[in-house]
Structure 1
Amino acid sequence: MAELFNAAEYLTERRVAEGDGARTAVHHPRGTLTYAELSAEVARVAGGLARLGVRPEERVLLCMADDVELFTAILATMRLGAVAVPCSTMLTATELSVLVSDSRARVVLGSDQFADTVRAAVGPEVEHVVMTSEWETLRADPAPAYPTWDESPALWLYTSGTTGKPKGAMHRHADIRYVCETYGRQVLGIGPEDVCLSVAKLFFAYGIGNSMFFPLSVGASVVLEPARPAPDLLASRVRRYGVSLLFAVPSFWGPLLASDLPDDALAGVRRGVSAGETLPARMFTGIRDRFGVEILDGIGSTEALHIFISNRPGAVVPGSSGFPVPGYEVELRRPDGTVITGTEEPGMLWISGDSVCTGYWCRTAVNRQVFQGEWMRTGDQYVRNPDGSLTCLGRADDVLKVGGIWVAPAEVESRILEHPAVAEAVVVGVADTDGLDKPVAYVVPRDGAVVDPDELVAFCRAGLASFKRPRAVVVVAELPKTATGKVQRYRLRERPLTVSV
């Protein structure tokens, strides 16, 4: 029999038992919760879910804003031994209905602002729908923690991955403790005095680690912000709550750097973190030089629950993802499966670590492709640098072959982002009149700047091999992105555009 372990107890009651009951755990839009208050509230919400008939290992689906109700409901579900399934609040009713059906959820929780979507998404198999306006009717007498163990299911996170179809990555209670003890403790160095603020929301693996797992594991505080992130809003939260750890994605760091905020806007932030996509070197140096914040860029995944390769404090290699996080192994493999041991040869990134999910729910064919023994195929192309750091070349299906030579979009994007007029850039392959892929750049100008496409192509030619230059530059007001800030490259590829050279 495995060790008894409940992640919700680990994150709440354990802190109270260790003397942190009076410490602030959560800042939310309507107030705060101490660790003692959080533990009590989680037990009451768990009691309400039990009264609705939620059973161990049963899924509870949540489509909710980043507020105290979602925060406590996730913990309450795990406390009961049930499985929390937080979902993107940006899904349409049709998209959400797929997840409701796939998860077999009988209980769905939703925020009032998403009521129309939630109610349109549920079918007759759903027995209870509870919105935040009905929260008082949900809370009940405290329910005891269910005696789960390391291997018990705790959390499902849906990801589209490389197939474009949502898949539920199934995580154990032990996975939560593992990411806290590896990345949280040994890389981030989080401590009880830290205050965390995350651009990524709780329904995202990156966000739930930033805003729940890491701070609660050590008795730190978290600031929940349900609104859409914007530089001025986040800067105001930093000042108000004394934020020390700021977690974001490149699509936030770029606009922050281009904003007119004062240079002391992030005073008190001792460390920034970036994930989701590669952080361009320009953004790292720009944020460091202007705001005095060192950003630790890294790569993680829904399947691994959080970051497994990261830069280290005081030893950042700009433009790279850094080095393997303690507790994880990485390999770069060739198409024939052989392992690359040298440097500067690109290969597919495979990882191994105890936080990797047990698989995708009811996706046998995909499971056999992605999970092989202790190893997981990430779908990312990487290269190992002479200093041992690892640099992302993009998703395997993003790499272009131009004139018979492989071109990594990330390399071209990095050069474009060095141009002073450019705030954001994405390079995708677009077929020319002969059906051959050519690199095309979609760029967002900085506020008040004008991008001259011909001049930008010349700028790229001056800093890159000629064949890597974009054959066309398209200026856009914004890039299509997911709810977590990742650029939807496929939508750019689908745009009608003719490339003649």
Structure 2
Amino acid sequence: MTNLAAGLLRTAERFPDRPALRLGDDVMTYAQLDDASARVVTYLRLCGVQPGDRVGLMLPNVPQFAVAYYGILRAGAVVVPMNPLLKGREVDFYLDDSEAAGMLAWYGGVDQGAAREGDRVSLVVEPSSFAELLAGHEPTPGLVERDGQDTAVVLYTSGTTGQPKGAELTHDNLRRNAEVTSTTLVDLSHEDVLFGALPLFHSFGQTVALNCAVRTGACLTLLPRFDPEQALAILTGHRVTVFAGVPTMFGALLNAAGTDDHDLSALRVCVSGGAALPVELLHRFERRFGTMILEGYGLSETSPVASFNHPDRPRKPGTIGTPIEGVEMRLAGPGGEDVPDGEVGEILIRGHNVMKGYWRRPDATAEAIVDGWLRTGDLARRDTDGYYAIVDRTKDLVIRGGYNVYPREVEEVLYEHPAVAEAAVLGMPHRTLGEEVVAVVALRPGASATGEELREHVKGQIAAYKYPRQVWIVDALPKGATGKILKRSITVPPQQPQ
């Protein structure tokens, strides 16, 4: 069976009484998840949803997300995951662009639950009423068979430039990515407990948390909205063995823990992705909690995992490791030519993880995928051992007086200062230089530092054209749904005291 939901049916048969999902003290077994998702199929069919139809899913990290997700897939339909924080105008765009048959939305939203004319399915999901609804429908056994190249999920990109584009991820894309991740990278079993703080509407959370857990029979313990104090309590109380997060989550956990005792002895491995992990933050976290962080890399368009610091190979902090099984990566120059080791080039990816294309956007697809290679827009260097190190996004590159400045390099130095919790380096327009390097920094709780002090800290360690001439200190940096720092949302005053 190539339907992505087939993994749930197999696991429910093997481990029916094992906990599949946990939210606080509430536990859902695999048998219960199997049964509930089969009842969703019945509901969708009564609503007129047909195989291949797109169905919006806008729920936080709650068990009902998994129930609806696998129910939609079992019905042969396509999941269109959406951030529950989206407003009506944004929701309308996602649904209209994907030509969705309707949506299932979390209760409490003002705009999200409103039915559109012509919707075949429109359901506001509230835990008790949702349970009653499903209880009133008999489960539909089995699932609708799908071809491996059929679209399973239309995942909309963040839309940093222009309107969001829907990446079509196939059943084979997502199934194979979860298979490789769970077997060769994290080595999951039904005895594991994964921490589910990554948003499930994002590919990182879907693959590395939900689909990996369901494939292996592990338990996914959920946190609807990341809070470091709650996260520490769950990591300790639920005896979490695998934690997958983004760099800002690791930093927040460090700051929240302070010098207090937290028993994270069950935690055997951490996975970091979504953004470059500062080396100093990696070392501080590992010293504090006595566990190992494996950094990987990927995009929504690659389902998402593309490369990883593999557990059976030497780990190189500051790198994203090597391509995963069945995936190729190379570095290309502006003309598409191969770039030698040690030099900077754009990462190109080819393999089973690369999306089918952008939904209804053939021009954008042709621009992104050239001769089977996905152009990522990310700049990196490769060493002689084949390990890749992210330098920056192409669009984040700062060109100061004709010299290339890679913000990641400057941010690494800022993170080495003991007062720095978060840092972002960007370019500001300059009359004669083209762009000037500036930094925006949030300090660790209880720490103090001035902009001038931080500027001098960096100035003494890198070339003169790279250090930030201005350093802003703010309470916190803006972040997206996954916790990734959003440079495009940073606003800085026209002048800054030195």
Instruction: Give 2:44's aligned amino acid.
Output: L
Instruction: Give 1:119's aligned amino acid.
Output: G
Instruction: Give 1:131's aligned amino acid.
Output: V
SS in 2 for 1:303: helix
Match in the other structure for 2:189: 191
SS in 1 for 2:55: strand
Instruction: Give 2:54's aligned amino acid.
Output: R
If the length of structure 2 is used for normalisation, what is the TM-score? Answer: 0.95
SS in 2 for 1:7: coil
Q: Report sequence identity in percent.
A: 32
Instruction: Supply the distance in 2 between the matched residues of 1:307 and 1:478 (Cα, whole angstroms).
Output: 28
Give the one of 384, 400, 403 matched to 1:402. Answer: 400
1:391-430 paired onto structure 2 within 5 Å: 391-430=389-428
Instruction: Report how far residue 321 of structure 1 moved.
Output: 1.1
8 A contact 1:49–1:138 mirrored in 2? no
CA deviations 1:301-347 (Å, max 9, x no partner) are: 1111121111123732111111111211001000011012x321000
Give the one of 152, 155, 174 matched to 1:154. Answer: 152
Instruction: Give 1:450's aligned amino acid.
Output: S
8 A contact 2:12–2:30 mirrored in 1? yes
Instruction: Report how far residue 432 of structure 1 moved.
Output: 2.5
Instruction: Give 1:284's aligned amino acid.
Output: L
Segment drifting more, 342-351 vs 311-320: 311-320
1:110 and 2:105 are equivalent in the alignment: yes
Instruction: Supply the distance in 2 between the matched residues of 1:219 and 1:81 (Cα, whole angstroms).
Output: 23
Give the one of 119, 123, 126 matched to 2:113. Answer: 119
SS in 2 for 1:170: strand
Q: Structure 1 residues 289, 24: CA separation in 2 closer, same or farther (over 3 Å shift)? A: same
8 A contact 1:107–1:127 mirrored in 2? yes
Match in the other structure for 2:230: 233
Match in the other structure for 2:341: 343
Instruction: Report how far residue 189 of structure 1 moved.
Output: 1.4
Match in the other structure for 2:217: 219
CA deviations 1:402-443 (Å, max 9, x no partner) are: 221111000000000000011000000011244620111000
Instruction: Report how far residue 28 of structure 1 moved.
Output: 2.4
1:132 and 2:125 are equivalent in the alignment: yes
Give 5+ residue unaligned stretches, structure 1: none
Q: Structure 1 residues 265, 452: CA separation in 2 closer, same or farther (over 3 Å shift)? A: farther
1:388 and 2:383 are equivalent in the alignment: no
1:269 and 2:267 are equivalent in the alignment: yes
8 A contact 1:430–1:497 mirrored in 2? no
Instruction: Supply the distance in 1 between the matched residues of 2:124 and 2:113 (Cα, whole angstroms).
Output: 10
8 A contact 1:332–1:382 mirrored in 2? yes
Q: Structure 1 residues 256, 65: CA separation in 2 closer, same or farther (over 3 Å shift)? A: same
SS in 1 for 2:112: helix
Instruction: Report how far residue 400 of structure 1 moved.
Output: 1.0
Give the one of 86, 92, 106 matched to 1:97. Answer: 92
1:455 and 2:450 are equivalent in the alignment: no
CA deviations 1:205-233 (Å, max 9, x no partner) are: 0011132111111111111221x212211
1:25 and 2:24 are equivalent in the alignment: no
1:248 and 2:236 are equivalent in the alignment: no
8 A contact 1:445–1:477 mirrored in 2? yes
CA deviations 1:3-62 (Å, max 9, x no partner) are: x4221122x111133x21122111124621221221111111111111111110001101
Instruction: Give 2:46's aligned amino acid.
Output: R
Instruction: Report how far residue 496 of structure 1 moved.
Output: 4.2
8 A contact 2:327–2:353 mirrored in 1? no
1:327 and 2:323 are equivalent in the alignment: no
Instruction: Supply the distance in 2 between the matched residues of 1:476 and 1:337 (Cα, whole angstroms).
Output: 40
Give 5+ residue unaligned stretches, structure 2: none
1:13 and 2:9 are equivalent in the alignment: yes
Instruction: Report how far residue 374 of structure 1 moved.
Output: 2.0
SS in 1 for 2:442: strand
CA deviations 1:102-157 (Å, max 9, x no partner) are: 1111221111122x12035x532324321123412255111231122212221111
Q: How many residues align?
A: 491
8 A contact 2:101–2:121 mirrored in 1? yes
Match in the other structure for 1:47: 42
CA deviations 1:241-299 (Å, max 9, x no partner) are: 21100011111111222222635442211001111100000111111111011111111
Instruction: Supply the distance in 2 between the matched residues of 1:162 and 1:387 (Cα, whole angstroms).
Output: 33
Q: Structure 1 residues 346, 161: CA separation in 2 closer, same or farther (over 3 Å shift)? A: farther
1:425-436 paired onto structure 2 within 5 Å: 425-434=423-432, 436=434
Give the one of 191, 201, 204 matched to 1:203. Answer: 201
Instruction: Give 1:81's aligned amino acid.
Output: G
Instruction: Supply the distance in 2 between the matched residues of 1:161 and 1:222 (Cα, whole angstroms).
Output: 29
Instruction: Give 1:173's aligned amino acid.
Output: H
Match in the other structure for 1:376: 374
Match in the other structure for 1:481: 479
SS in 1 for 2:302: coil
Q: Structure 1 residues 163, 364: CA separation in 2 closer, same or farther (over 3 Å shift)? A: farther
8 A contact 1:180–1:217 mirrored in 2? yes
CA deviations 1:81-119 (Å, max 9, x no partner) are: 0001110122222112110111111221111122x1203
Instruction: Supply the distance in 2 between the matched residues of 1:292 and 1:380 (Cα, whole angstroms).
Output: 31
Instruction: Supply the distance in 2 between the matched residues of 1:448 and 1:245 (Cα, whole angstroms).
Output: 30
User: Moved runs in structure 1, 4+ residues, more than 6 A?
Assistant: none
Q: Structure 1 residues 436, 498: CA separation in 2 closer, same or farther (over 3 Å shift)? A: farther
Question: C-alpha root-mean-square deviation of aligned residues, in Å?
Answer: 1.8
